[in-house]
Amino acid sequence: LKLSMAEFKKLGERMYMIKRLFNLKMGLTPADDRLPKIVLNPVNEGGSAGKTPNFQRLKDAYYEYRQFDKDSGYPNQEKLKDLGLDSL
């Protein structure tokens, strides 16, 4: 199987999106997109010492990057079409 880097990336994105769609169909919601509590604790050292990551802001940016609807968590139709998954 010979794939270019772009094709390989798109294949990985398709696999991720199929998993995402399956999980949403099984009842998961954006509220289920969360990180372990340890990741959300204040940083102990360095330039960010004492600061806590703003998970909601990071999640919103991730949803925008992935082209997910912020309320439903579903990818938009344009993204699904681009990945050849618009029939799912």
Residue pLDDT, tens place only, 64-77: 999 999 999 999 99
**85 assigned to some structural domain:** no
Alpha-carbon span 67 to 79, nearest angstrom: 7
Domain range for 16: 5-79
pLDDT at 2: 93
**38 assigned to some structural domain:** yes
Q: How confident is the model at residue 32 (pLDDT cuts 50, 70, 90)?
A: very high
Model pTM score? 0.84
**24 assigned to some structural domain:** yes
**87 assigned to some structural domain:** no
Domain count, the chain: 1
Q: How confident is the model at residue 19 (pLDDT cuts 50, 70, 90)?
A: very high
**37 assigned to some structural domain:** yes
Residue 16: in which H helix or E strand, if any?
helix 5-25
**19 assigned to some structural domain:** yes
pLDDT at 88: 84
pLDDT at 48: 87
DSSP letter for 75, please.
Answer: B
